[in-house]
């Protein structure tokens, strides 16, 4: 079954304690992306990756890091989480061609993060 | 700056009562406009891509249309299982075709 998986699904942590949210896809997609969803603000893109070792900032990258060492995995790293990073996070993947990403993308189930 | 505005924020319909959701957008050049459906507690699910004004796409009770300034998602004779939040997003061909900019969504509730 084609899917994007995220772990953990729920996480409560404290300010400053480094954490990683994993994302994995089984569709051999080149393009992967992280979003955060906040009430009244909608989905906002944090980082994206066009392929292995190729990443770039989205609209709200401050406080986040990513890496793409393997095609299937795209972890999101919060080096020193703060309360304003409390949010619902989604990973997504899609095909990528010469004309850019195909945004008929698959989303993961989400990770609800609370930073105290 | 790319902007996407969806209206209404929330919509309540009776089963069988057709209606439309609106997505107004501002981009320097539209590469694609996307509609997604999101159920509570789940990730968005892709519905449609529209590329140029005049284009229409259909899927079951849903039909998406596109003009140069807005897109409509028409829901014909909705059923309770159509209840969800519908998200619209745009891909700018000139300033950031690698990125997607989302609206805040329309929450649809269809009562039996």
DSSP letters of A16-51? Answer: T--EEEEEEESS--SEEEEEEEETTTEEEEEEEEEE
Q: What is the mean pLDDT of residues B83-100?
A: 88
Residues of A with CB under 8 A from a CB of B: 4, 33, 35, 40-45, 48, 50, 56, 58-59, 90, 92, 100-101, 103-110
Q: What is the mean pLDDT of residues B60-88?
A: 97
Are B60 and B48 contacting, i.e. CB atoms less than 8 angstroms apart?
A: no
- pLDDT tens digits, residue range B46-66? 999 999 999 999 999 999 999
Interface test with A, best of B27, B48, B97, B98 (most A CBs within 10 A): B98
- Strand (E) positions, A39-110? 42-51, 54-57, 65-66, 76-78, 87-94, 96-97, 100-101, 106-107
Q: Chain A contact for B106, CB < 8 A? A: no
> In sequence order, what are the residues at sequence separation of 6 or more whose Cβ sits closer than 8 angstroms to the Cβ of residue A23?
A4, A5, A6, A32, A34, A73, A74, A75, A76, A91, A108
- Per-residue pLDDT 10s for chain A (116 aa) are 989 999 999 999 999 999 999 999 999 999 999 999 999 898 999 999 999 999 999 999 999 999 999 999 999 999 999 999 999 999 999 988 877 788 888 999 999 999 99
Q: What is the mean pLDDT of residues B4-28?
A: 96
Q: Which residues pair with A36 in a beta bridge?
A: A44, A89
Q: Round the average pLDDT of chain B to a whole number and report it.
A: 94
Portion 80-99 of B in contact with A at CB < 8 A = 87, 89, 91, 97-99
Distance between CA B36 and CA B26 in Å, rounded? 19
> Is cis: bond before B78, omega within 30 of 0?
no
Distance between CA B52 and CA A89 in Å, rounded? 31
pLDDT at B96: 66
> In sequence order, what are the residues at sequence separation of 6 or more whose Cβ sits closer than 8 angstroms to the Cβ of residue A61?
A46, A47
pLDDT at A80: 97
B87 contacts A4? CB cut-off 8 A: no
pLDDT at A96: 85
> In sequence order, what are the residues at sequence separation of 6 or more whose Cβ sits closer than 8 angstroms to the Cβ of residue B72?
B20, B21, B22, B23, B64, B65
A92 contacts B101? CB cut-off 8 A: no
pLDDT at B108: 98
With CA atoms as reference, the chain A residue closest to B104 would be A42
B34 contacts A104? CB cut-off 8 A: yes
pLDDT interval class at B97 (50, 70, 90): confident
């Amino acid at each position: 079954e084609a899917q994007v998986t995220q772990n953990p699904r729920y996480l409560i942590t404290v300010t400053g304690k480094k954490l990683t949210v994993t994302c994995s896809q089984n569709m051999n997609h080149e393009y992967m992306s992280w979003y955060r969803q906040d009430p009244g603000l909608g989905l906002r893109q944090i980082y994206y990756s066009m392929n292995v070792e190729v990443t770039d900032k989205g609209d709200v990258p401050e406080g986040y890091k990513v890496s793409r060492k393997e095609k299937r995995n795209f972890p999101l790293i919060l080096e020193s989480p703060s309360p304003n990073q409390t949010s619902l996070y989604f990973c997504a993947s899609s095909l990528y061609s010469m004309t850019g990403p195909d945004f008929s993308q698959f989303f993961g189930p989400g990770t609800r993060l609370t930073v105290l | 700056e790319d902007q996407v505005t969806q209206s209404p924020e929330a919509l309540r319909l009776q089963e069988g009562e057709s209606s439309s959701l609106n997505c107004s957008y501002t981009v320097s050049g539209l590469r694609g406009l996307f509609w997604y459906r999101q159920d509570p507690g789940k990730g968005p699910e892709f519905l449609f891509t529209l590329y140029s004004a005049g284009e229409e796409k259909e899927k079951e009770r849903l039909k998406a249309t596109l003009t140069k300034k807005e897109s409509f998602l028409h829901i014909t004779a909705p059923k309770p299982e159509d209840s969800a939040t519908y998200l619209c997003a745009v891909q700018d061909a000139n300033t950031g075709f690698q990125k997607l900019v989302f609206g805040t969504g329309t929450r649809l509730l269809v009562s039996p």
